[in-house]
Amino acid sequence: MVATLQKLQPPRAMRWVIRWKWITISLVVFAGLLFYFIHHWTSRFILVPIILGGGYWAFTIYRHRGRIVGQGSEGEALVANVLDNLQMDARVIHSVQFESGDRARELDHLLITHNTMFVIETKYLRGRIAGEVLDREWTLHKRARQTRSRYKRTFYNPLKQVATQIYHLRSHLEKNLAPRWAQECSQIWIQGVVVFAHAQGDASAVINHEHGVVDINSLPQYLANYRPPSRAHRLSYGLRREISRVLTGQ
Return d(Cα 97, Cα 103) in angstroms, integer. 11
Return d(Cα 37, Cα 76) in angstroms, integer. 47
Say how many domains are in the chain: 1
pLDDT at site 101: 76
pLDDT at site 240: 94
Nearest Cα neighbor of 62 from 19, 97, 11 is 19
Q: What is the mean pLDDT of the chain?
A: 86
Residue type, 123: K
Domain hosting 16: range is 2-248
pLDDT at site 61: 76
**Which one-letter DSSP state was computed for residue 43?**
I
Q: Give the model's confidence band at 68: pLDDT under 50 very low, under 70 low, under 90 confident, else very high.
A: low
Return d(Cα 193, Cα 132) in angstroms, integer. 15
pLDDT at site 41: 67
CB 128 within 8 A of CB 196: no
pLDDT at site 154: 93
Q: Per DSSP, which regions of the chain are E strands?
A: 2-6, 90-100, 103-112, 117-123, 127-130, 137-143, 150-156, 190-196, 201-202, 213-215
Write out pLDDT tens, residues 186-220.
999 999 999 999 988 899 999 999 999 999 999 99
Q: Give the model's confidence band at 7: pLDDT under 50 very low, under 70 low, under 90 confident, else very high.
A: low
| Cross-strand partners of 120 | 109, 193
